[in-house]
Chains A and B, each alone.
Chain A
Amino acid sequence: MAEPPGLEHVEHTAHDAGSGLPNPMHQFEIERIIPLKIFGFDASFTNSALFMVIAATLITLFTLYAMRNRSLVPSRLQSVAEVSYEFVANMVRDNVGTDGMKFFPFVFTLFMFVLTLNMLGMVPYSFTVTSHIIVTFALAAFIFIGVTLIGFWKHGVKFLKFFVPDGVPFVMLPLLVVIEVISYLTRPLSLSVRLFANMMAGHTMLKVFGAFVVALGFLGGWAALGFMVAFTGLEILVAFLQAYVFAILTCIYLNDALHMHH
Protein backbone atom coordinates (compact mmCIF):
# COMPACT_ATOMS: atom_id res chain seq x y z
CA MET A 1 0.00 0.00 0.00
CA ALA A 2 1.48 3.30 -1.09
CA GLU A 3 1.51 5.84 1.68
CA PRO A 4 0.28 9.33 0.88
CA PRO A 5 2.97 11.99 1.09
CA GLY A 6 1.19 13.76 3.97
CA LEU A 7 1.53 10.76 6.27
CA GLU A 8 5.23 10.41 5.70
CA HIS A 9 5.64 14.03 6.62
CA VAL A 10 3.70 13.54 9.87
CA GLU A 11 5.65 10.43 10.77
CA HIS A 12 8.98 12.06 10.15
CA THR A 13 8.21 15.06 12.31
CA ALA A 14 6.92 12.80 15.11
CA HIS A 15 10.05 10.71 14.77
CA ASP A 16 12.37 13.69 14.94
CA ALA A 17 10.60 15.31 17.87
CA GLY A 18 10.72 12.09 19.91
CA SER A 19 14.53 11.95 19.77
CA GLY A 20 14.71 8.76 17.76
CA LEU A 21 11.86 6.80 19.36
CA PRO A 22 11.25 3.59 17.43
CA ASN A 23 8.13 3.31 15.31
CA PRO A 24 5.59 1.34 17.39
CA MET A 25 3.91 0.03 14.22
CA HIS A 26 7.05 -1.70 12.99
CA GLN A 27 6.22 -4.88 14.93
CA PHE A 28 3.11 -5.48 12.81
CA GLU A 29 4.96 -5.55 9.49
CA ILE A 30 4.59 -8.71 7.45
CA GLU A 31 7.79 -10.00 5.87
CA ARG A 32 8.06 -12.58 3.15
CA ILE A 33 10.28 -15.42 4.31
CA ILE A 34 9.82 -17.65 1.25
CA PRO A 35 8.44 -15.62 -1.69
CA LEU A 36 5.92 -17.65 -3.65
CA LYS A 37 3.53 -16.82 -6.47
CA ILE A 38 0.68 -19.13 -7.37
CA PHE A 39 -1.43 -18.18 -10.41
CA GLY A 40 -0.50 -14.54 -9.96
CA PHE A 41 -1.52 -14.51 -6.29
CA ASP A 42 1.05 -13.66 -3.68
CA ALA A 43 1.06 -16.82 -1.55
CA SER A 44 4.41 -16.20 0.12
CA PHE A 45 5.33 -17.93 3.35
CA THR A 46 5.37 -14.94 5.68
CA ASN A 47 6.28 -14.46 9.32
CA SER A 48 2.52 -14.51 10.00
CA ALA A 49 2.23 -17.96 8.44
CA LEU A 50 5.35 -19.07 10.31
CA PHE A 51 3.81 -18.18 13.67
CA MET A 52 0.56 -19.93 12.76
CA VAL A 53 2.56 -23.06 11.97
CA ILE A 54 4.47 -22.70 15.25
CA ALA A 55 1.19 -22.33 17.17
CA ALA A 56 -0.42 -25.36 15.53
CA THR A 57 2.73 -27.44 16.12
CA LEU A 58 2.97 -26.33 19.75
CA ILE A 59 -0.67 -27.25 20.48
CA THR A 60 -0.36 -30.63 18.78
CA LEU A 61 2.94 -31.49 20.47
CA PHE A 62 1.67 -30.29 23.85
CA THR A 63 -1.53 -32.36 23.80
CA LEU A 64 0.25 -35.43 22.41
CA TYR A 65 3.20 -35.20 24.80
CA ALA A 66 1.06 -34.40 27.84
CA MET A 67 -1.21 -37.38 27.25
CA ARG A 68 1.52 -39.86 26.21
CA ASN A 69 1.25 -42.08 29.33
CA ARG A 70 -2.23 -41.49 30.54
CA SER A 71 -2.64 -42.31 34.19
CA LEU A 72 -5.52 -42.03 36.65
CA VAL A 73 -3.43 -39.76 38.84
CA PRO A 74 -2.28 -37.22 36.26
CA SER A 75 1.25 -35.91 36.00
CA ARG A 76 1.76 -32.17 35.98
CA LEU A 77 1.65 -31.81 32.20
CA GLN A 78 -1.30 -34.16 31.93
CA SER A 79 -3.26 -32.11 34.44
CA VAL A 80 -2.56 -28.95 32.44
CA ALA A 81 -4.00 -30.66 29.37
CA GLU A 82 -6.96 -31.92 31.41
CA VAL A 83 -7.61 -28.47 32.90
CA SER A 84 -7.68 -26.87 29.46
CA TYR A 85 -9.97 -29.63 28.18
CA GLU A 86 -12.33 -29.29 31.14
CA PHE A 87 -12.28 -25.50 30.92
CA VAL A 88 -13.52 -25.49 27.33
CA ALA A 89 -15.84 -28.46 27.89
CA ASN A 90 -17.54 -26.64 30.79
CA MET A 91 -17.78 -23.51 28.67
CA VAL A 92 -19.57 -25.42 25.90
CA ARG A 93 -21.80 -27.33 28.33
CA ASP A 94 -22.84 -24.19 30.22
CA ASN A 95 -23.46 -22.04 27.17
CA VAL A 96 -24.68 -24.43 24.48
CA GLY A 97 -25.93 -27.41 26.48
CA THR A 98 -25.11 -31.09 26.24
CA ASP A 99 -26.34 -31.38 22.64
CA GLY A 100 -23.77 -28.74 21.75
CA MET A 101 -20.92 -31.01 22.82
CA LYS A 102 -20.59 -32.26 19.25
CA PHE A 103 -19.14 -28.85 18.47
CA PHE A 104 -16.66 -29.15 21.33
CA PRO A 105 -13.68 -30.11 19.12
CA PHE A 106 -14.19 -26.99 17.04
CA VAL A 107 -14.46 -24.66 20.03
CA PHE A 108 -11.46 -26.30 21.71
CA THR A 109 -9.33 -25.94 18.58
CA LEU A 110 -10.42 -22.35 18.16
CA PHE A 111 -9.73 -21.44 21.77
CA MET A 112 -6.32 -23.11 21.87
CA PHE A 113 -5.30 -21.61 18.52
CA VAL A 114 -6.27 -18.05 19.44
CA LEU A 115 -4.81 -18.40 22.94
CA THR A 116 -1.50 -19.74 21.65
CA LEU A 117 -1.26 -17.04 18.98
CA ASN A 118 -1.99 -14.33 21.57
CA MET A 119 0.53 -15.77 24.03
CA LEU A 120 3.22 -16.20 21.34
CA GLY A 121 2.70 -12.53 20.57
CA MET A 122 3.71 -11.68 24.14
CA VAL A 123 7.19 -13.15 23.59
CA PRO A 124 9.58 -10.27 22.83
CA TYR A 125 10.57 -9.86 19.15
CA SER A 126 7.87 -12.29 18.07
CA PHE A 127 4.95 -11.55 15.80
CA THR A 128 1.29 -11.33 16.87
CA VAL A 129 -0.79 -13.00 14.19
CA THR A 130 -4.09 -11.95 15.78
CA SER A 131 -3.12 -8.28 15.51
CA HIS A 132 -4.02 -8.44 11.82
CA ILE A 133 -7.70 -7.95 11.13
CA ILE A 134 -7.73 -10.22 8.10
CA VAL A 135 -6.79 -13.21 10.28
CA THR A 136 -9.41 -12.53 12.93
CA PHE A 137 -11.98 -11.62 10.29
CA ALA A 138 -11.40 -14.89 8.46
CA LEU A 139 -11.94 -16.79 11.73
CA ALA A 140 -15.03 -14.75 12.59
CA ALA A 141 -16.51 -15.01 9.10
CA PHE A 142 -16.04 -18.78 9.16
CA ILE A 143 -17.84 -18.94 12.53
CA PHE A 144 -20.62 -16.64 11.32
CA ILE A 145 -21.27 -18.59 8.10
CA GLY A 146 -21.01 -21.92 9.90
CA VAL A 147 -23.40 -20.87 12.67
CA THR A 148 -25.93 -19.51 10.17
CA LEU A 149 -25.78 -22.75 8.16
CA ILE A 150 -26.25 -24.78 11.37
CA GLY A 151 -29.28 -22.64 12.21
CA PHE A 152 -30.91 -23.23 8.83
CA TRP A 153 -29.94 -26.91 8.83
CA LYS A 154 -31.46 -27.43 12.27
CA HIS A 155 -34.62 -25.31 11.97
CA GLY A 156 -35.09 -24.85 8.24
CA VAL A 157 -36.92 -21.69 7.21
CA LYS A 158 -38.18 -21.31 10.81
CA PHE A 159 -34.71 -20.00 11.66
CA LEU A 160 -35.87 -16.68 10.20
CA LYS A 161 -38.15 -16.35 13.25
CA PHE A 162 -34.92 -15.68 15.13
CA PHE A 163 -35.10 -12.13 13.76
CA VAL A 164 -38.66 -11.57 15.04
CA PRO A 165 -38.65 -10.77 18.77
CA ASP A 166 -41.48 -12.17 20.89
CA GLY A 167 -44.16 -10.06 22.57
CA VAL A 168 -43.65 -6.94 20.51
CA PRO A 169 -46.52 -4.75 19.24
CA PHE A 170 -47.20 -5.36 15.55
CA VAL A 171 -46.51 -1.73 14.64
CA MET A 172 -42.97 -1.95 15.99
CA LEU A 173 -42.08 -5.13 14.10
CA PRO A 174 -40.73 -3.67 10.81
CA LEU A 175 -38.30 -1.51 12.73
CA LEU A 176 -37.22 -4.21 15.17
CA VAL A 177 -36.70 -6.87 12.50
CA VAL A 178 -34.39 -4.52 10.63
CA ILE A 179 -32.46 -3.82 13.83
CA GLU A 180 -32.22 -7.53 14.63
CA VAL A 181 -30.95 -8.36 11.15
CA ILE A 182 -28.36 -5.58 11.30
CA SER A 183 -27.18 -6.67 14.74
CA TYR A 184 -26.91 -10.24 13.48
CA LEU A 185 -24.90 -9.15 10.44
CA THR A 186 -22.46 -7.09 12.53
CA ARG A 187 -21.53 -10.18 14.57
CA PRO A 188 -18.50 -11.21 12.46
CA LEU A 189 -17.35 -7.60 12.42
CA SER A 190 -17.56 -7.07 16.17
CA LEU A 191 -16.10 -10.51 16.90
CA SER A 192 -13.07 -9.90 14.68
CA VAL A 193 -12.52 -6.23 15.53
CA ARG A 194 -12.63 -6.99 19.28
CA LEU A 195 -9.76 -9.46 19.10
CA PHE A 196 -7.76 -7.50 16.53
CA ALA A 197 -8.14 -4.12 18.25
CA ASN A 198 -7.31 -5.47 21.69
CA MET A 199 -4.17 -7.16 20.44
CA MET A 200 -3.04 -4.28 18.27
CA ALA A 201 -3.79 -1.55 20.81
CA GLY A 202 -2.12 -3.52 23.60
CA HIS A 203 1.07 -4.19 21.67
CA THR A 204 1.27 -0.62 20.38
CA MET A 205 0.81 0.65 23.93
CA LEU A 206 3.58 -1.62 25.22
CA LYS A 207 5.95 -0.37 22.50
CA VAL A 208 5.13 3.30 23.03
CA PHE A 209 5.46 3.10 26.82
CA GLY A 210 8.60 0.98 26.47
CA ALA A 211 10.14 3.78 24.43
CA PHE A 212 9.31 6.17 27.30
CA VAL A 213 11.32 3.98 29.68
CA VAL A 214 14.34 4.24 27.38
CA ALA A 215 13.81 7.98 26.97
CA LEU A 216 13.74 8.48 30.75
CA GLY A 217 17.21 6.99 30.91
CA PHE A 218 19.18 5.09 33.52
CA LEU A 219 18.18 7.26 36.49
CA GLY A 220 14.50 7.85 35.86
CA GLY A 221 13.71 4.68 34.00
CA TRP A 222 13.54 2.21 36.86
CA ALA A 223 10.18 3.31 38.26
CA ALA A 224 8.75 3.30 34.75
CA LEU A 225 10.23 -0.15 34.17
CA GLY A 226 8.22 -1.55 37.09
CA PHE A 227 5.16 0.06 35.58
CA MET A 228 5.96 -1.68 32.28
CA VAL A 229 6.26 -5.06 33.98
CA ALA A 230 2.78 -4.54 35.45
CA PHE A 231 1.49 -3.55 32.01
CA THR A 232 2.98 -6.67 30.46
CA GLY A 233 1.13 -8.70 33.09
CA LEU A 234 -2.06 -6.90 32.14
CA GLU A 235 -1.44 -7.67 28.48
CA ILE A 236 -0.99 -11.37 29.25
CA LEU A 237 -4.33 -11.23 31.08
CA VAL A 238 -5.91 -9.52 28.06
CA ALA A 239 -4.37 -12.12 25.73
CA PHE A 240 -6.06 -14.89 27.71
CA LEU A 241 -9.28 -12.93 28.18
CA GLN A 242 -9.72 -12.22 24.48
CA ALA A 243 -9.20 -15.86 23.55
CA TYR A 244 -11.78 -16.75 26.22
CA VAL A 245 -14.24 -14.14 24.97
CA PHE A 246 -13.75 -15.25 21.37
CA ALA A 247 -14.55 -18.85 22.34
CA ILE A 248 -17.46 -17.98 24.63
CA LEU A 249 -19.08 -15.74 22.00
CA THR A 250 -18.75 -18.59 19.51
CA CYS A 251 -20.58 -20.75 22.06
CA ILE A 252 -23.31 -18.12 22.48
CA TYR A 253 -23.77 -17.85 18.71
CA LEU A 254 -23.93 -21.63 18.46
CA ASN A 255 -26.53 -21.66 21.23
CA ASP A 256 -28.61 -19.08 19.34
CA ALA A 257 -28.48 -21.20 16.20
CA LEU A 258 -29.26 -24.49 17.97
CA HIS A 259 -31.94 -23.37 20.43
CA MET A 260 -33.13 -20.00 19.09
CA HIS A 261 -34.21 -18.61 22.44
CA HIS A 262 -33.79 -14.93 22.82
Chain B
Amino acid sequence: MDPSAAKLIGAGLASIALVGAGVGIGTIFGNYLQGALRNPSAAPGQFANLLLGFALAEATGLFGLVVALIILFVF
Protein backbone atom coordinates (compact mmCIF):
# COMPACT_ATOMS: atom_id res chain seq x y z
CA MET B 1 0.00 0.00 0.00
CA ASP B 2 1.09 3.55 -0.65
CA PRO B 3 2.48 5.00 2.63
CA SER B 4 0.56 8.26 2.19
CA ALA B 5 -2.69 6.27 1.87
CA ALA B 6 -1.89 4.47 5.13
CA LYS B 7 -1.28 7.86 6.71
CA LEU B 8 -4.69 9.14 5.67
CA ILE B 9 -6.39 5.96 6.92
CA GLY B 10 -4.59 6.28 10.24
CA ALA B 11 -5.65 9.91 10.62
CA GLY B 12 -9.23 8.94 9.87
CA LEU B 13 -9.11 6.13 12.43
CA ALA B 14 -7.72 8.50 15.06
CA SER B 15 -10.70 10.80 14.53
CA ILE B 16 -12.99 8.02 15.85
CA ALA B 17 -12.00 9.29 19.32
CA LEU B 18 -14.55 12.05 18.76
CA VAL B 19 -17.30 9.40 19.13
CA GLY B 20 -16.37 9.13 22.79
CA ALA B 21 -16.43 12.88 23.19
CA GLY B 22 -19.90 12.97 21.65
CA VAL B 23 -21.18 10.31 24.05
CA GLY B 24 -19.57 12.07 27.01
CA ILE B 25 -20.92 15.52 26.19
CA GLY B 26 -24.36 14.10 25.54
CA THR B 27 -24.32 12.28 28.88
CA ILE B 28 -23.23 15.40 30.75
CA PHE B 29 -25.85 17.72 29.27
CA GLY B 30 -28.57 15.05 29.43
CA ASN B 31 -27.94 14.33 33.08
CA TYR B 32 -27.70 18.03 33.87
CA LEU B 33 -31.09 18.66 32.24
CA GLN B 34 -32.58 15.68 34.04
CA GLY B 35 -31.34 16.97 37.38
CA ALA B 36 -32.31 20.55 36.55
CA LEU B 37 -35.88 19.55 35.71
CA ARG B 38 -36.20 17.54 38.91
CA ASN B 39 -34.82 20.33 41.08
CA PRO B 40 -34.72 23.61 39.13
CA SER B 41 -33.67 25.66 42.15
CA ALA B 42 -30.40 23.74 42.47
CA ALA B 43 -29.57 23.99 38.76
CA PRO B 44 -27.74 27.37 38.61
CA GLY B 45 -25.35 26.28 41.35
CA GLN B 46 -24.16 23.38 39.24
CA PHE B 47 -23.69 25.37 36.04
CA ALA B 48 -19.94 25.77 36.61
CA ASN B 49 -19.61 22.02 37.08
CA LEU B 50 -21.58 21.51 33.87
CA LEU B 51 -19.19 23.65 31.87
CA LEU B 52 -16.20 22.00 33.52
CA GLY B 53 -17.50 18.52 32.71
CA PHE B 54 -18.26 19.59 29.16
CA ALA B 55 -14.73 20.89 28.68
CA LEU B 56 -13.13 17.81 30.24
CA ALA B 57 -15.19 15.45 28.07
CA GLU B 58 -14.54 17.46 24.93
CA ALA B 59 -10.81 17.48 25.59
CA THR B 60 -10.54 13.68 25.47
CA GLY B 61 -12.05 13.65 22.01
CA LEU B 62 -9.78 16.45 20.88
CA PHE B 63 -6.75 14.42 21.99
CA GLY B 64 -7.75 11.98 19.26
CA LEU B 65 -7.97 14.84 16.81
CA VAL B 66 -4.47 15.96 17.82
CA VAL B 67 -3.21 12.43 17.14
CA ALA B 68 -4.82 12.62 13.69
CA LEU B 69 -3.13 15.98 13.00
CA ILE B 70 0.22 14.68 14.22
CA ILE B 71 -0.10 11.72 11.85
CA LEU B 72 -0.99 14.05 8.98
CA PHE B 73 1.49 16.86 9.47
CA VAL B 74 4.44 15.59 11.52
CA PHE B 75 5.30 12.22 10.02
Contact = CB atoms under 8 A, between A and B. Distances in A.
Contact of B63 (A4, A197, A249): A197
B7 A6 contact: yes
Contact of A241 (B8, B51, B62, B63): B51
- Chain A interface main SS type: helix
Contacts of B59: 190, 193-194, 197-198
B65 to A, nearest CB: 5
B14 interface: no
A194 B48 contact: no
B4 interface: yes
B65 A245 contact: no
Contacts of B72: 7
A244 interface: yes
Given A193-B62, A193-B66, A242 B7 contact: no
A7 B69 CA distance: 12
A9 B7 CA distance: 12
Contact of A245 (B55, B62, B75): B55
A193 B58 contact: no
B3 interface: yes
A10 B65 contact: no
B62 A197 contact: yes
Interface residues of A, number: 22
Contacts of B73: 7, 25
A6 B3 contact: yes
Nearest to B6: A6
A91 B51 CA distance: 13
Given A190-B59, A241-B54, A248-B52, A10 B66 contact: no
Given A190-B59, A197-B63, A9 B51 contact: no
A4 B52 contact: no
A4 B75 CA distance: 8
Contacts of B56: 245
A201 interface: yes
Contact of B8 (A4, A10, A25): A10
Contacts of B65: 197, 201
Nearest to A197: B62
B55 A241 contact: yes
Interface string A122-162: 00000000000000000000000000000000000000000
Most buried by A among B59, B69, B72, B75: B59
Interface of B: 3-4, 7-8, 48, 51-52, 54-56, 58-59, 62-63, 65-66, 69, 72-73, 75
Given A197-B65, A200-B69, A244-B51, 13 more contacts: A7-B73, A10-B4, A10-B7, A10-B8, A193-B59, A194-B55, A197-B66, A198-B59, A201-B65, A241-B55, A245-B55, A248-B52, A249-B52
8 contacts: A6-B3, A10-B8, A194-B58, A197-B63, A241-B54, A242-B55, A244-B51, A248-B48
Interface of A: 4, 6-7, 9-10, 25, 91, 94, 190, 193-194, 196-198, 200-201, 241-242, 244-245, 248-249
